[in-house]
Structure 1
C-alpha cells in the first residue's frame, strides 16, 4: 500500500470575513491568497481540491522535516506580505479590504496510507486518512497560526521535533486522538516589522500644476466606488471606450490597467496618498504625448451623507518640447478633467436619486 503526506493550509477567520463584509471583494481576496499559496509550493504537492478557505494537497514523495517546515514558513510569510499590502496599499474602503489584515493561516499535516477513489474522470485520495486530517480542522488549539502534526507525522519526524512543539489529545468518535502543534506567530510579527522599517514608497507629489474644486450632491462612498472600481470607468469617462484590467484582482496602489481610447491606449498605474479625514484616489501614466509623466489625485471630503467636496489635483512633468507648449497642454488637460468631473457628478448624483 502506498503512503502519502497530506497537507492542508487553512485560512483562519474566513467565515466571519465572508459573512460580515462585501462578498465581491472577499471572493477576489481569498482567491488571490489561495493562488499565492499554490505559487509558493516548492515541494510540488498535488492539489486535490479547494475547500472554501483551504487547500487539500498531498504527495507520495515524503519531504524531510526541514523541507516541510520551510514550505510552511514560506507560505505563511508570503501570505502575510500580501495581506499587509491591503493595509498599506489599498484604496478601497469596503469591509473586505479593511479587514484582510486580520486573516491568519494555519497548517495541518498528516502521514498515512494512500487510497484513491475514482468517480467518472475524477481521481482523488479517499478513506480514513482523509477523514482524520479534516476532523482536526475543528481542533481546540488556543492560537490562530500554527502547524499541526498528527501522531503519524510525529512518529516520522520525532528526531527533529526537539523544541517548541506541544502535545494535545482530543476525543473524536469516542476515541483519543493525539496531535502536536507548533506556534508560528513570529512570522506575522516579522512581516509587520519589515513593513515598518521599509519607507513608504509614495510618489513625490507636492505642488499641483492645476486644481479643480467642485461640490458633488452625492455620497462620498458612491463617488469613490465609481472612481476606483475600474468596471465603472467608461460610464463617466466618455473618452474611454473600455478599460482592460484583471477582473479577479482588487484595485490597489500599484495595480495597472489600460484605458482604450478612440485613438490609442494609455497604461495607468493606481496611486494614492495617506489621509486621515478624506478618501483619495489617483493614477499615473507615462504614455501621454509631450509629457514624461502625468498624475492626478482626487480628494474626497464628506460634508454630509449626500454632499461631498471634490478636489482634483493635476501634476504634469513635461518633455523638452512639451515645455514649449506648456500653457496650451495644461489648458487642454484641465478642460478635459472639468468635463470628466461634470460627468462623474451626473452619474453619482443619479445613483442616490434612484
Structure 2
C-alpha cells in the first residue's frame, strides 16, 4: 500500500488564550484563523477533522514533493501571520482576546505512513498507527511554539537531507520516545519576520475639518468596554436601532476597521464600512461610513466613549455629511436633518435602556 501524507497545523497558545480572554471574541479569532488555514490549502489536502485549535489534513496514497510540501508550509505561515497582522492593525476592540491575538503562533507536524479509513456519519476518517504517531508528535520538547516538524519517515520519502537549509528553513535533528518507541524527526523554527506577508486593505482614517452636523451625548450605567461591544457587535444592533428590517454582516468576524455591514430598510440596502478618526487619549471610538443614503454623498457616524467610573461612561454620537449640490443641501436642511436628529436620540436612548437592562 502506498504511503499517505498526514499534516496537522496547530495554533500554539490556544488553551491559555481561551482561558484568559473574553470567550466570544477568542472563539471568533480562532475560527477566523482556522478558516484562513483551510483557505491556504494549495496542495488539495483532505480535511479529516477540525480538532479545536488544529486541523487534521491528509493526502491518501500521495505525498507531494519536498518543494511542494515546503511551499505549502510557507503559504500557511504567510496566511496565518498576515491575518494576525490584520487583526492587530485594524482592531477597534480593547478586550483581552483582540489584544492578545497577535501573540498566537503556529506549529505544523507532517508525517507519513499507511492509513485505514472509517466512515463516520458519512464522513471518511483516517485511522491507524501513523495517525496516532502524527498526533503524538505534537507533544515534544522543541523549545518553540512556531515550527515545522517533519518525521524521518516522511523526510526519507521526500529524499530530504536532514540538514536542509533555505531562506526560511534551517532544519535540525531530534527524536522523542512514545510508548517505548523512538520517532526521529527534523524540525525548523520559522522566523515570521522572514515571511513575505500579503498586503491587506488599510483602514480608512477620516479627517474632518468641521464641526459635526449633529451631536448627542448620553450617560450609560455600564462600562465603556461593554457598551463598545454592544455598539460594534451587529448581533445586537437590532435591539437598539429600530426601523431596520434586518442587518446583514459576517457573523464569524469580529468587527474591525474595514468591516462591512448592510442595513435593509423597506427592501433598500444601505452599505456601511467601519472607519475611524483621531480621538482624545483615554477615549474609544467606533465609526461608520456609507455612500448609499440619498441625497447625501457621504455620511459618517461616530460613537465616542469615555469612562466615568468602572461601571459608567458617556457615549457621544456625531454625524457628518458631505453633499456637493446646493439643492441637496436645502433638502437635507428642510427635511432630512430633523429626521436624523430624532433617530439619533432614539437610538442612543434605546442603547442606554438595552445596555442597562
| SS of 2:138 mapped into structure 1 | helix
CA contact (8 A) 2:220 2:315 kept: no
1:226 aligns with one of 230, 246, 256: 230
CA contact (8 A) 1:117 1:125 kept: yes
Which 4+ stretches in 1 moved above 6 angstroms?
none
Shift of 1:291: 0.9
Q: Which residue of 1 aligns with 2:220?
A: 217
Correspondence list, 1:17-166, <5 A:
17-59=17-59, 60-119=61-120, 121-159=122-160, 162-163=164-165, 164-166=170-172
Whether 2:189 is the aligned partner of 1:186: answer: no
CA contact (8 A) 1:318 1:326 kept: no
Q: Which residue of 1 aligns with 2:328?
A: 322
Can you give the 5+ residue segments of structure 2 that lack an aligned partner in the other structure?
none
For residues 86 and 168 of structure 1, the distance between their equivalents in structure 2, rounded to whole angstroms, comes to 35
For residues 202 and 116 of structure 2, the distance between their equivalents in structure 1, rounded to whole angstroms, comes to 51
Residues 286, 101 of structure 1: CA spacing in aligned structure 2 closer, same or farther, 3 A cutoff? same
Shift of 1:281: 0.9
When the two structures are superposed, what TM-score results if normalisation uses the length of structure 1?
0.90
Note the aligned Cα RMSD (angstroms): 2.4
CA contact (8 A) 1:211 1:311 kept: no
Q: Which residue of 1 aligns with 2:241?
A: 237
For residues 232 and 354 of structure 2, the distance between their equivalents in structure 1, rounded to whole angstroms, comes to 14
| SS of 1:238 mapped into structure 2 | coil
Q: Which residue of 2 aligns with 1:246?
A: 250
Can you give the 5+ residue segments of structure 1 that lack an aligned partner in the other structure?
none
Shift of 1:61: 2.6
Shift of 1:255: 1.5
For residues 180 and 110 of structure 1, the distance between their equivalents in structure 2, rounded to whole angstroms, comes to 11
Shift of 1:200: 5.9
CA contact (8 A) 1:114 1:125 kept: yes
Whether 2:183 is the aligned partner of 1:177: answer: yes
Q: Which residue of 2 aligns with 1:296?
A: 301
CA contact (8 A) 2:204 2:276 kept: no
For residues 278 and 77 of structure 2, the distance between their equivalents in structure 1, rounded to whole angstroms, comes to 27
Shift of 1:151: 0.8
**169-178 vs 51-60, greater mean Cα deviation:** 169-178
CA contact (8 A) 2:40 2:76 kept: yes
Shift of 1:119: 4.8
For residues 121 and 331 of structure 1, the distance between their equivalents in structure 2, rounded to whole angstroms, comes to 59
Shift of 1:31: 1.6
CA contact (8 A) 1:117 1:126 kept: yes
CA contact (8 A) 1:80 1:188 kept: no
Aligned length, in residue pairs: 347
Shift of 1:221: 2.2
Shift of 1:41: 1.0
CA contact (8 A) 2:66 2:160 kept: no
Residues 116, 335 of structure 1: CA spacing in aligned structure 2 closer, same or farther, 3 A cutoff? closer
Residues 202, 217 of structure 1: CA spacing in aligned structure 2 closer, same or farther, 3 A cutoff? closer
Correspondence list, 1:264-275, <5 A:
264-273=268-277, 275=279
Structure number with higher helix proportion: 1
Residues 304, 202 of structure 1: CA spacing in aligned structure 2 closer, same or farther, 3 A cutoff? same
